[in-house]
Structure 1
Amino acid sequence: MIYFIGAGPGAADLITVKGKDLLEKADLIIYAGSLVNPELLKYAKPECVIMDSAKMTLEEVIAAMVPAAQAGKLVVRLHTGDPSVYGAHREQIDLLRSYNLDFEIVPGVSSFCAAAACLDAEYTLPNVSQSVIITRMEGRTPVPNKQKIADYAAHKATMVIFLSSGMLEKLQKELISGGYTADTPAAIVYKASWPDEKVCRCTVGTLAETAKEHNITKTALITVGNFLGNIYDRSELYNPTFAHGYRTADPSKLDLKPEVK
């Protein structure tokens, strides 16, 4: 059996319980060494074979996993964050299907969730943003037509931008050309949840300058939008004036600073 496991954003205790359990049982672990916290490998049993995929090709990864799985061993392919977000696991799965091997995907905590926690922020705020756009700048990997940064910036929704911290001058130009103003709140979150985590608050117009000041060139997420501001409407979910299937409305209880006993 082959398990594709999301390692979480970095901190070793942010892997799921199921992911940790499988790491402890694994006979072979292939992990993304350039991104996954090596502390996670301490969960492996002493006889487990551990391979770093940072220097491996897709073909080499498959060549290691297939014979182990065919021999009845438990194989773990450990991806950073959640495998579904820029994890490149689809191409591995398609190749494994050609060998008639069983596999399972174990989700993980994505770094975009950890970044929000670092910022003490909520991506979706009433009357500010009800959508989160996860995207990246175009680099060696092309971006489909109508999915450029400027296209998404026109929506003025919350944006979380992966794999782009080395292209911030281009990024801020794209964001502004798409519709964001230069003074729109932004933040650079470097290695969210790692011991050397760093949070740099800035604006769209100062992204490149801020990254240079803090010597950030990689392993960072860029967040953009007014969710980083202080103005938003109260949610109706817990508003005493709002009735729903579990609660009747009672306007007399409206108090933004209720008495705490």
Structure 2
Amino acid sequence: MSHRPQSATERSVCFVGAGPGAADLITVRGRDCVSRADAILYAGSLVAPEVLSWARADCELADSKGMDLEQLRDWLLQRALQGLQVVRLQPGDPSLYGALPEIAQPLDEAGITVRIIPGVTSAMAAAAAAGESLTLPESTQTVIFTRVEGLTPVPASEQLSELAKHGTTLCIYLSATLLDKISSALQTAGWSKTAPVVVVHKASWPGEERILRTDLAHLAEACREAQIQSQAMVIAGPTLGARQRTERAQSRLYDPSFSHAFRQATNG
């Protein structure tokens, strides 16, 4: 296998967000980083195999799905210390619901440069798939990315029942097996049983994406019937279905009475 060692000052590991699923939703910068890599450690259970098609023929590829934390860190560190161009390829965005701090720490301690290339996260891909906006003028200007407490605890102030009291858009990650908890938490926060919910399974994955529309009362039942048990984004909030409403506030950005740097307001 032919590799091109770097000088000591160039030793680095690049964490690349592969995006939500579809290979062509990786960023151009991420794709280019993959194409230059000597060694790539990828999350095989969540990263589409097609993303690896940009890797060189002589690039060392390894799947991390069977590794524990120490094995994963050692794999990256050993190759970076050899001066290879190393990539950690992971789903979505590396900075969200990953293990970036604990993986990067020994690299920092060894003087390895850590670079991060952002990726499209599944909340955005799910909203796009469902044709929904996550914000709406005079309805909500806030989006909360969160997850239901499971194996990983959350602070008391971040319990879903507390966050839901804001009434904003909720994008709920990693909770496909905890749908009853979602329904209960939102209703505890005062949401109606009939509040709409969109569930997108494997957003953007070619041939595998599924979109399910239901309400809080039937959320768990509907997903069980559809056999959605993993890789699902749950979106709830006041913006859902806005495209079908005739009465809603309009954005002021395009209001003829609103001036900005590129347009002078007109008076009726």
The answer to whether the superposition gives a TM-score over 0.5 is yes
Cα deviation per residue 1:146-181 (whole Å; 9 max; x = unaligned)?
100000110000000000011111210111101211
User: Shift of residue 25 of structure 1?
Assistant: 1.2
User: Shift of residue 246 of structure 1?
Assistant: 2.5
2:169 is equivalent to residue 158 of structure 1 = yes
Q: Partner residue of 2:4?
A: none
Aligned residues: 252
Q: Which whole-Å CA distance do the structure 2 matches of 1:247 and 1:45 have between them? A: 49
Q: Partner residue of 1:209?
A: 221
Aligned with 1:227 (options 239, 252, 255): 239
User: Shift of residue 245 of structure 1?
Assistant: 3.0
Q: Which whole-Å CA distance do the structure 1 matches of 2:108 and 2:81 have between them? A: 13
User: What amino acid maps onto 1:61 in structure 2?
Assistant: L
Q: Which whole-Å CA distance do the structure 2 matches of 1:121 and 1:55 have between them? A: 36
2:41 is equivalent to residue 30 of structure 1 = yes
Q: Which whole-Å CA distance do the structure 2 matches of 1:133 and 1:189 have between them? A: 17
Which segments of 5 or more consecutive residues in structure 1 lack a partner in the other structure? Answer: 253-261
Q: Partner residue of 2:254?
A: 238
Q: Conserved in 1, the CA contact under 8 Å of 2:132 and 2:241?
A: no
User: Shift of residue 49 of structure 1?
Assistant: 1.1
2:149 is equivalent to residue 133 of structure 1 = no
User: Shift of residue 62 of structure 1?
Assistant: 1.3
Q: Conserved in 1, the CA contact under 8 Å of 2:165 and 2:189?
A: yes
User: What amino acid maps onto 1:228 in structure 2?
Assistant: L
Report the TM-score, using the length of structure 2 for normalisation: 0.91
Q: Partner residue of 1:249?
A: 265
2:128 is equivalent to residue 117 of structure 1 = yes
Cα deviation per residue 1:106-160 (whole Å; 9 max; x = unaligned)?
0111111101101111111001111000000000000111100000110000000
2:196 is equivalent to residue 185 of structure 1 = yes
Calculate the aligned-residue CA RMSD, in Å. 1.1
Which segments of 5 or more consecutive residues in structure 2 lack a partner in the other structure? Answer: 1-11
2:68 is equivalent to residue 52 of structure 1 = no
2:173 is equivalent to residue 197 of structure 1 = no
User: Shift of residue 203 of structure 1?
Assistant: 1.1
Cα deviation per residue 1:14-68 (whole Å; 9 max; x = unaligned)?
1011111111111111111111111111111111111111110111011111121
Moved more, 171-180 or 147-156: 171-180
Aligned with 1:6 (options 6, 9, 17): 17
Cα deviation per residue 1:88-122 (whole Å; 9 max; x = unaligned)?
11111112111111110001111111011011111
Cα deviation per residue 1:222-250 (whole Å; 9 max; x = unaligned)?
00012113343100001112222322222
Q: Which whole-Å CA distance do the structure 1 matches of 2:93 and 2:38 have between them? A: 22
Q: Conserved in 1, the CA contact under 8 Å of 2:35 and 2:54?
A: yes
Q: Partner residue of 1:100?
A: 111
Q: Which whole-Å CA distance do the structure 1 matches of 2:38 and 2:259 have between them? A: 54
Q: Which whole-Å CA distance do the structure 2 matches of 1:24 and 1:248 have between them? A: 47
Q: Conserved in 1, the CA contact under 8 Å of 2:143 and 2:171?
A: yes
Q: Partner residue of 2:9?
A: none
Q: Partner residue of 1:174?
A: 185
Q: Which whole-Å CA distance do the structure 1 matches of 2:210 and 2:69 have between them? A: 32
User: Shift of residue 251 of structure 1?
Assistant: 4.5
Report the TM-score, using the length of structure 1 for normalisation: 0.94
SS at match of 1:83: coil
